[in-house]
Amino acid sequence: MKKRNWILCVTTAIVMALPALTPFEKTVAAGPPTVDIKIDNFSFTPPMLTVKAGTKVTWTNGDDIPHNVASEDQSFKSKVLDTDEKFTFTASKPGTYSYFCSIHPKMTGKVVVE
């Protein structure tokens, strides 16, 4: 048992030290949680999403037409996203963020941060 605890301890230390190591090993490190929202066919998928505070939310535009992502309370607004361009918002503050594409305002979505 003692030996196992020791191994666990060393492993934890290595994992915690990883971000400070070479870029080669960096990929192993776990960052903040991430979620993806797809923009396809003039809609956000999923249209509603609940995430933990600190989550990185990334929108990717899969349409042939540019879109953007703008929260109604103006806490975030992306630049215009052409095809395959992305926008990331770190949801640090709990609350409900209703957002829409201000170019095509029929496109709406919601991110709930817990």
Partner 1 sequence: MPPQENRNTILPDHNHDGVDRRGFLKCMAWAGTGALCVLRGGVLKSYALNDISGVRKAAKGDLSFVQISDSHMGFNKAANPDVVATLKIAVDKIQALAVPPEFLLHTGDITHLSKPSEFDTVNQILQSASTKEVFFVPGEHDVLEDNGKQYLELYGKNTKGAGWYSFDKKGVHFIGLVNVMNLKAGGMGSLGTEQLEWLEDDVRHLSKSTPMVLFAHMPLWNIYPEWGWGTEDSAQALSYLKRFGSVTVLNGHIHQTMQKVEGSITFHTATSTAFPQPHPGAAPSPGPMKVPAERLRGLLGMTDVNYVRKHHALALIDSTLE
Q: How far is CA 13 from CA 6, 9, 23, 91, 107, in A?
A: 11, 6, 18, 29, 46
Considering only 52, 79, 86, 93, the residue that binds partner 1 (CB under 8 A) is 79
Q: Which residue has the tokens 């990334």?
A: 58
| Contact stretch for partner 1 (CB under 8 A) within 8-16, 18-26, 37-45, 46-54 | 37-45
Q: Select 18 or 70, whichever has its Cβ closest to partner 1.
A: 70
What is the closest distance, in whole angstroms, from the C-beta atom of residue 105 to partner 1 in the complex? 4
Residue 72 to residue 77: CA distance in whole angstroms:
9
Phi and psi angles of residue 21, each rounded to the nearest 5 degrees, phi first: -85, -170
Binding site for partner 1 (CB under 8 A): 41-43, 63-66, 68, 72, 79-80, 82-83, 98-100, 102-106, 108
